[in-house]
Homo-oligomer: A and B are copies of this chain.
Amino acid sequence: MENQVSFKEVKACPERYVLAISDTLNVLTGKWKLPIIGTLFYNKKRFEEIKNNIPRITPGILSKELRELETNGIIKRVVPDSVPVAAEYELTDSGRNLKEVLDRMLQWGIQHRDWVNASI
């Protein structure tokens, strides 16, 4: 209910509107964030697993992107002790909530492609 209020409030203010959307855009843009989030939707994974899942990503980039996604609260890094040393990465609640956003984007993407093709 609180959200409903601030949702309307923000929509009434162009600057806050653009800002809130930019927040969302920023956690998704760049070449690698989407593939990383996408692969973690299925289940949590370890560094090497993610690396092997995403063609051509180097450890340097992956390391940097994971750190960014972590500080943005999209994923969390879990190190179960006892085990040799096996860091695991998984989506946070908020990260999982991106699914609805991505589904909308997917829908628009397909629809737009159809629309463009139809109007040639």
A contact residues vs B (CB 8 Å cutoff): 2-3, 6-7, 10-11, 14, 17-25, 27-29, 34-35, 38, 73, 93-94, 97-98, 100-102, 104-116, 119
Interface of A is mostly: helix
Q: How far is the CA of A109 from the CA of B113 in the complex (A)?
A: 26
Q: Shortest CB–CB separation between residue A106 and chain B, in angstroms?
A: 5
21 A-B contact pairs sorted by A residue (CB < 8 Å) = A3-B111, A7-B106, A10-B106, A11-B106, A14-B38, A18-B35, A20-B105, A20-B106, A20-B110, A21-B34, A24-B105, A25-B28, A25-B29, A25-B34, A73-B116, A94-B111, A94-B112, A94-B116, A98-B108, A101-B108, A104-B104
